[in-house]
Amino acid sequence: MKTPSRVVATGIVFEEPHDPAAAYAAADGFLTPEARQAIDAWRAGDALLLTHAAFAEIDDGHGVRRWGGPPQGPHPVPTHGSATATLLGLAVGYGEDLLPALGINGLTISRFDFHAAPRRIELDESIRRRLRLD
């Protein structure tokens, strides 16, 4: 049975994997030249390697619950110069595939309500301190 629900917020959360090199290998099954270059930049301190995942916070009448999509990446984010364009490029338009998954899980959410909800980009303070965001 479908449950009428209210979308409280949607967004993207960026996280730093514990072992970025292993995260690349797990994502692709092997290390591409681009992945090797990103890992070298990370080891040199020129980039952070971050994953990102979509989320939606839904109130189904029994409290607010966070639904999350699978993490994507990792992606290199520069530590020298502005990281804003890179992060926004990864975040804008991402997460559309989360809406059908919510319906599959028995929640009734309109496309309009999903897109009209406040949108957030979450970045842990320990990551923020190492990036220049303008």
Question: Which residues are paired to 12 by β-bridges?
Answer: 54, 121
In this prediction the pTM is 0.86
Give the separation between CA 127 and CA 107, rounded to whole angstroms: 33
Give the separation between CA 50 and CA 72, rounded to whole angstroms: 9
Per residue in 63-119, pLDDT (tens digit) is 999 999 989 889 999 999 999 999 999 998 777 778 777 766 677 888 899 889 999
